């Protein structure tokens, strides 16, 4: 382990705590991490997803920010003008709940946590431009969130709607669809209810197609994230088909009054439609059954469905419930009269909320038909189906039931389908196209595209959020708060502990109408905090602007973010909302980019030693302080980056921490030893290097090339391996060569190399070495990245094997790149005694490896 004992006493001990506290202060005093906005340098915007200040930072944060920080520091050294900011997603329910519990203010709790997190960030050596700190709960930030809301409103992208919404009884607020998982609140896990409430929406669906199309502009995003976004947007091509509702006596109701439309992706299956389904929330459903014997059972289904979220219905895995309404509809193509049922797997706000059920082709309908004994008419078959030969030419219905285990959801041949019999059926099939064409011709159907994506419900009946800047006036309706009166300040004196809400806070809601001056009521809903995190990365480009959320110049200069780093849990919501905001703000004229984040890195999770997720309730959390206190932040950073590639999960490993610490100490000692004989690296003369020096020289070029390439790919673990190899090569040189004989320029160069490449990862130790060991001024963070040349790594000579008649006889050095003739000549002289007196009839040469001489 020890490389040199004679000089050990002269080398200062590696005292992590002393070094780290010294440089922490020095960096802060010199504002080292501010951007330099040097027009001659290319820009690089490196950003980690900002945290919610719920307490001190945990390992997940430490990993996220260490990755970003290594990128930012290295980019700076490679000549980029780097923007690397941080902030806090500071509004949200946990603060409010903590305030209620401890009878304090949400603001106080939040600011205290932010201070603590900031101290830890500083302790970790993160190179943030603190002048750009953004806290979303501060009025100079949320003012602009309100301003943006009003701009979206002006453009028709904000509206109010009364709708059945997800209501969490515990959080006492409405939730977006995305915030309900398996029927439960994403935050508190309570079962979510449906309530009919008037709420504020943002029309993200206006951008559905662009949000989908532009995923193609993001080659720097993980495929799976793009896939998740595409699925979430859920574009679906199909057709609308008009059915005719019958009255209570079974007579078709003529005209528009009787028209009832479905959305289907499988118009080809119209002949297999054996019943018709309505969502429990379908408008007018209860009127259909009012006063009939069906009212009771239909009502039960409607009530039961209130506890099932749209997401669960879409998954279709729950037991299905339904009831007959007593009514029938007429199928426009087959002319069949089929019963109308209500079913709880039909989503009210997708398509039309009405579905033509085709149990032979749709698995959900199949299961429903089995459960309620409804007919399954086979109208699509695969060629190997036992029924195929019997039905392949059949145009009318002759078989009305099957003994199938499941529906045929893939392509097949249409049978029992009138003139469409024999055509291929399936999504986007020949049969589908033919039927839709006929529906369009007869006016009973039309092409239609649907999206799963819903408008974004943004109002929350909670206190700790950005107030929606609107006023309700009895005469004028709902009007925006005039721009010069923004921000609507969130009051800070609510008695949350006693359950006071904004809706009960007179000082807040009593106001006058900005249009007519009459007494009016201020809106008391606040915005979903996802609105705050949808544009913070833009505010960082111009954080002190008092005229606009940010200037167009600043945004255009810095955007898009070059490297965005965060957890996979944000793959859908945060990223989709941010992409939407960027596009909407572009259309308002605030900036010119289409997409906010060029490269996205989703870092893996840090699990405990046994591979379990760390959580407070399990008591297996490893706090960053448990590493920083004994070993220092550099060890923490190195360990995090060395254990695994950034995108992979890893299990926490205390041995890795000790290993990281040992490596830092070793690198520390080697640099000091190199410095003992170091001269001026710029005078390096390759021709004057002896063999051990040449080895080190080549190794230096090789490892730097590898390390740099790994940095470019974000593979810090292998970059660190390359650094270790460089340190090993330096150590070998020191051990092999007495100090007097070492090359002064080379030792200086390699000392600088080690310090420079390790600096993005272990900035404190490297800054100390830069000054104390190398005697340099300025900061290693602003020093240039070492130059290297892969060609220089190649050795001048290679050793080849020489065989005579296939038998290994000698090894000989030949110039690298020697041709066959040169190889043969060298080989022959090396094995002279074995070929003496014989003739070489043939020489088989493998360049760089071997020569086999065939002799007679």
Contact residues for ligand ANZ, defined by CB under 6 A: 236, 263-266, 269, 279, 346-347, 350-351, 353, 355-356, 358, 361-362, 450
The H-assigned helical ranges of 186-345 are 208-213, 223-233, 285-289, 295-305, 310-315
Task: Count the helix, strand and coil residues of the chain and give each as a percent rounded to the nearest 5.
Answer: 40, 20, 40
The span from the CA of 646 to the CA of 623, in Å, is 19
Phi, psi torsion values for 563, nearest 5 degrees: -130, 115
List the single partner that 264 binds among ligand ANZ, Zn ion, none, CB under 5 to 8 Å by kind.
ligand ANZ
Shortest Å, Cβ 142 to ligand ANZ: 37
The smaller minimum CB distance to ligand ANZ, of residues 366 and 631, is found at: 366
List the single partner that 513 binds among ligand ANZ, Zn ion, none, CB under 5 to 8 Å by kind.
Zn ion
Strand partners, 322: 343
Shortest Å, Cβ 356 to ligand ANZ: 5
**β pairing state of 424-425 and 459-460:** unpaired
CA angle 649, 651, 654 (to 5 degrees): 140
Residue 568 binding Zn ion, by CB under 5 A: no
List the single partner that 772 binds among ligand ANZ, Zn ion, none, CB under 5 to 8 Å by kind.
none
Rounded alpha-carbon distances, angstroms, from residue 522 to 488, 507, 512: 9, 10, 8
Binds Zn ion (CB under 5 A): choice among 356, 513, 748, 762: 513
Residue 478 binding Zn ion, by CB under 5 A: no
CA angle 632, 49, 585 (to 5 degrees): 155
Shortest Å, Cβ 346 to ligand ANZ: 4
Binds Zn ion (CB under 5 A): choice among 67, 148, 277, 473: 473
Count the alpha carbons within 13 Å of 756 in the hemisphere toward its beta carbon. Answer: 23
The smaller minimum CB distance to ligand ANZ, of residues 355 and 737, is found at: 355
Count the alpha carbons within 13 Å of 542 in the hemisphere toward its beta carbon. Answer: 20
The smaller minimum CB distance to Zn ion, of residues 169 and 519, is found at: 519
List the single partner that 473 binds among Zn ion, ligand ANZ, none, CB under 5 to 8 Å by kind.
Zn ion
The smaller minimum CB distance to ligand ANZ, of residues 157 and 267, is found at: 267
Q: Could you tell me if 444 and 332 are in contact, meaning their C-beta atoms sit under 8 angstroms apart?
A: yes
Q: State in Å, rounded, how far the first CA of the chain is from the last one.
A: 54
The span from the CA of 426 to the CA of 407, in Å, is 13
Structure tokens at 104: 């304090």
Strand partners, 160: 200
The smaller minimum CB distance to Zn ion, of residues 474 and 653, is found at: 474
Shortest Å, Cβ 522 to Zn ion: 12
Binds Zn ion (CB under 5 A): choice among 197, 253, 476, 732: 476
Binds Zn ion (CB under 5 A): choice among 516, 805, 821, 844: 516
- Segment near Zn ion (CB under 5 A); pick from 6-14, 439-447, 510-518, 683-691: 510-518
The smaller minimum CB distance to ligand ANZ, of residues 266 and 700, is found at: 266
Residue 515 binding Zn ion, by CB under 5 A: yes
What kind and span of H or E run contains 599? strand 597-603
616 is in an annotated binding site: yes
List the single partner that 476 binds among Zn ion, ligand ANZ, none, CB under 5 to 8 Å by kind.
Zn ion
- In the chain, how many H helices and how many E strands? 27, 35
What is the Cα 561 distance to its own chain's centre?
13
Shortest Å, Cβ 429 to ligand ANZ: 11
Strand partners, 81: 43
The smaller minimum CB distance to ligand ANZ, of residues 120 and 265, is found at: 265
The span from the CA of 169 to the CA of 188, in Å, is 10
List the single partner that 266 binds among Zn ion, ligand ANZ, none, CB under 5 to 8 Å by kind.
ligand ANZ
Strand partners, 814: 798
Which residue's CB atom is positioned nearest to ligand ANZ?
Answer: 361
The smaller minimum CB distance to Zn ion, of residues 515 and 588, is found at: 515
Shortest Å, Cβ 503 to ligand ANZ: 34
What residue ranges bind Zn ion (CB under 5 A)?
473, 475-476, 513, 515-516
Binding-site sequence positions for ATP: 616
């Amino acid at each position: 382990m020890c490389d040199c004992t004679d000089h050990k006493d002269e080398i200062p001990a590696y005292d992590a705590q002393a070094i780290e506290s010294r440089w922490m202060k020095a960096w802060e005093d010199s504002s080292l991490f501010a951007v330099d906005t040097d027009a001659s340098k290319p820009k690089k915007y490196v950003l980690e997803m900002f945290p919610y200040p719920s307490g001190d930072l945990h390992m997940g944060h430490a990993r996220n920010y260490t990755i970003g920080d290594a990128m930012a520091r290295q980019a700076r050294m490679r000549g980029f003008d780097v923007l690397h900011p941080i902030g806090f997603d500071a509004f949200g329910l946990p603060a409010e709940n903590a305030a209620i519990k401890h009878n304090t203010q949400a603001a106080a709790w939040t600011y205290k946590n932010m201070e603590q997190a900031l101290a830890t960030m500083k302790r970790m050596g993160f190179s943030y431009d603190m002048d750009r700190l953004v806290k979303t709960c501060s009025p100079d930030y949320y003012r602009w969130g309100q301003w943006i809301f009003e701009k979206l409103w002006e453009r028709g992208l904000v509206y109010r709607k009364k709708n059945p919404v997800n209501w969490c009884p515990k959080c006492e607020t409405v939730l977006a669809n995305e915030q309900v998982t398996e029927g439960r609140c994403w935050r508190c896990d309570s079962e979510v209810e449906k309530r009919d409430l008037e709420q504020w929406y943002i029309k993200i669906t206006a951008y559905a197609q662009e949000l989908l199309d532009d995923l193609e502009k993001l080659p720097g995003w993980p495929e799976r994230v793009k896939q998740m976004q595409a699925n979430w947007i859920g574009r679906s091509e199909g057709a609308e088909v008009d059915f005719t509702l019958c009255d209570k006596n079974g007579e078709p109701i003529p005209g528009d009054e009787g028209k009832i439309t479905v959305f289907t992706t499988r118009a080809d299956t119209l002949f297999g439609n054996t019943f018709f389904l309505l969502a429990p929330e379908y408008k007018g459903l209860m009127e259909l059954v009012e006063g009939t014997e069906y009212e009771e059972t239909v009502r039960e289904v409607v009530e039961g469905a209130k506890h099932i979220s749209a997401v669960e219905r879409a998954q279709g895995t729950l037991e299905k419930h339904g009831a007959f309404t007593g009514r029938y509809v007429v199928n426009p193509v087959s002319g069949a009269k089929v019963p109308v049922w209500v079913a709880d797997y039909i989503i009210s706000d997708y398509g039309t909320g009405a579905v033509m059920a085709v149990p032979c082709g749709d698995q959900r309908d199949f299961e429903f038909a089995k459960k309620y004994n409804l007919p399954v008419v086979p109208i699509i078959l695969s060629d190997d189906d036992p029924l195929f030969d019997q039905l392949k030419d059949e145009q009318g219905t002759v078989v009305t039931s099957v003994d199938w285990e499941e529906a045929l959801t893939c392509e097949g041949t249409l049978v029992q389908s009138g003139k469409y019999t024999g055509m291929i059926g399936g999504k986007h099939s020949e049969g589908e196209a033919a039927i839709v064409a006929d529906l369009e011709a007869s006016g009973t159907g039309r092409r239609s595209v649907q999206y799963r994506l819903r408008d974004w419900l943004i109002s929350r009946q909670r206190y700790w959020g950005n107030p929606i800047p609107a006023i309700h006036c009895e005469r004028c309706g709902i009007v925006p708060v005039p721009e010069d009166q923004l921000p609507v300040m969130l009051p800070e004196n609510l008695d949350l502990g006693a359950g006071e809400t904004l809706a009960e806070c007179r000082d807040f809601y009593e106001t006058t109408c900005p249009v007519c001056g009459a007494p009016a009521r201020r809106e008391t809903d606040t915005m979903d905090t996802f609105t705050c995190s949808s544009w913070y990365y833009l505010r960082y480009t111009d954080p002190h602007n008092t005229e606009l959320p940010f200037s167009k110049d600043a945004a255009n200069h810095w955007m898009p973010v070059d490297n965005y780093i965060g957890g996979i849990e944000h793959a859908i919501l945060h990223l989709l909302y941010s992409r939407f905001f960027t596009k909407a703000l572009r259309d308002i004229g605030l900036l010119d980019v289409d997409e906010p984040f060029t490269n996205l890195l989703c870092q893996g999770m840090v699990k405990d030693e046994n591979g379990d997720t760390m959580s407070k309730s399990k008591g297996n959390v490893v706090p960053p302080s448990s590493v920083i206190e004994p070993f220092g932040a550099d060890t923490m950073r190195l360990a995090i980056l060395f254990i695994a590639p950034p995108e992979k999960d890893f299990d926490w490993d205390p041995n890795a921490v000790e290993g990281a610490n040992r490596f830092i100490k070793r690198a520390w000692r080697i640099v000091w030893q190199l410095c003992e004989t170091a001269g001026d690296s710029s005078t390096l003369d390759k021709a004057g290097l002896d063999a051990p020096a040449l080895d080190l020289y080549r190794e230096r070029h090789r490892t730097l090339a590898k390390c740099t390439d790994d940095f470019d790919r974000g593979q810090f673990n292998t970059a660190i391996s390359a650094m270790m190899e460089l340190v090993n090569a330096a150590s070998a040189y020191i051990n092999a060569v007495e100090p007097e004989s070492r090359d002064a320029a080379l030792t200086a160069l390699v000392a600088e190399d080690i310090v420079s490449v390790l600096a993005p990862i272990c900035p404190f130790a490297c800054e100390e070495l830069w000054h104390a060991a190398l005697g340099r001024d300025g900061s290693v963070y602003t020093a240039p990245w070492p130059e290297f040349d892969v060609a220089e790594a190649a050795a001048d000579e290679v050793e080849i094997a020489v065989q005579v008649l296939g038998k290994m006889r000698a090894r000989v050095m030949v110039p690298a790149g020697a041709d066959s003739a040169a190889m043969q000549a060298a080989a022959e002289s090396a094995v002279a005694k074995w070929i003496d007196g014989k003739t070489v009839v043939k020489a088989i040469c493998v360049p760089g490896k071997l020569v086999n001489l065939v002799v007679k």
